[in-house]
Amino acid sequence: MAQLIDGRAIAEKVYAQLRGEIAELKASGVTPGLAVVLVGDDPASRAYVRSKDKMCRELGLHSVKLELPAATTQEELLARVEELNRDATIHGILVQSPPPRHIDEGAIVRALDPAKDVDGFHPSNVAKLALDDPSGFVPCTPLGCQRLLVESGIEVSGAHVVVLGRSMIVGKPLALLLMRKGRGADATVTVVHSRSRDLPEITRSADIVVAAIGRAGFVTAEHVRDGAVVIDVGINRVEDAGAPKGYKLVGDVAFAEVAAKASAMTPVPGGVGPMTIAMLMANTVKACQQAQA
Ligand code: NDP
């Protein structure tokens, strides 16, 4: 039976470390500031923004929550981003995804000051990840996956990691991150996606499987070899008449059958999710530190 990788406990460890760094910054007269911009009223996005704001407050960060109506135009949003770029009390800016359809998300991301792009989506930060430049910002979810592995004492160096999914938010940056040289990296990485042939055969050859495809329970026992480590990034809503909200959240991994084969795995919820917010806080502190240097 797999050992559970407790994302909440590891996130707490990250926060303990960040508290020290935040205290140092405050002692030198600066408080790290994060602005989260939400356009529209998508309930899931609203919940994410709330939890980011709450975490900022718990850590004593300066938090600005900008809630704009769904009818906000591209120009209005760009103007708000520009204001935040110029605001010296704000070190990190995040525009919650997905924005309403009439907004060109790529243009908004490109308008962010890369030094404040704590989500790591700006082309300049994507390039820095590919170029191994440590001053760049790496997207929070892949960074959280790597930290989970490191803190759990799982050897990544030399391991064969198969990443399911090639999105710019999770799969692609995670592959770049794990194939870098250094601690928590040096992996042999394979990325599979919806066009991959013989997918179960490939995932069965992995020491570490990371599932980030957005399909509930897609990864089953036939995808995983005995003793593999399984990281489940997926967050999927499935109907559950017994649940108070009528649905529950499940990952991309069929938990019970995979847990019977894996040596370690993350639960959903309570695995990668808490680490994503922790890494957002870490990136905000890093942005503030770099702004002082
Ligand atoms: P995307 O929809 O952007 O990408 C999904 C990827 O999975 C694509 O590369 C797609 O392939 C691939 N894929 C889809 N279906 C299959 C299939 N049947 N077989 C093989 N590959 C497949 O999703 P995201 O990367 O944004 O998110 C993935 C999951 O992670 C979602 O459940 C999301 O909710 C969750 N997530 C969780 C976060 C957290 O904090 N825990 C943060 C971000 C995301 P192709 O490119 O060929 O279409």
- Tell me the per-residue pLDDT of 185-206, one tens digit each, with 9 for 90 and over: 999 999 999 999 999 999 999 9
Asked whether the beta carbons of 107 and 282 are under 8 A apart, the reply is no
Over residues 135-144, the mean pLDDT reads 98
- Vertex 41 angle, CA 37 and 47, to 5°: 70
269 lines ligand 1 (CB under 6 A): no
Is residue 286 part of the annotated active site? The answer reads no
Calculate how far, in angstroms, residue 176's C-alpha sits from the geometric centre of ligand 1.
16
Nearest CA owner, ligand 1 atom 36: 234
Which listed residue (116, 117, 119, 286) is catalytic?
119
Quote the crossing angle between the two packed helices 171-178 and 140-151, to the nearest 10°.
40
Is residue 133 part of the annotated active site? The answer reads no
Beta bridge partners of 33: 62
Calculate how far, in angstroms, residue 86's C-alpha sits from the geometric centre of ligand 1.
34
pLDDT, tens digit, 9 for 90 and up, residues 155-193 = 999 999 999 999 999 999 999 999 999 999 999 999 999
285 lines ligand 1 (CB under 6 A): no
Is residue 52 part of the annotated active site? The answer reads yes
Total-model pTM: 0.98
Please name which of 176, 144, 36 lies closest in space to residue 97, comparing C-alpha atoms. 36
Calculate how far, in angstroms, residue 183's C-alpha sits from the geometric centre of ligand 1.
26
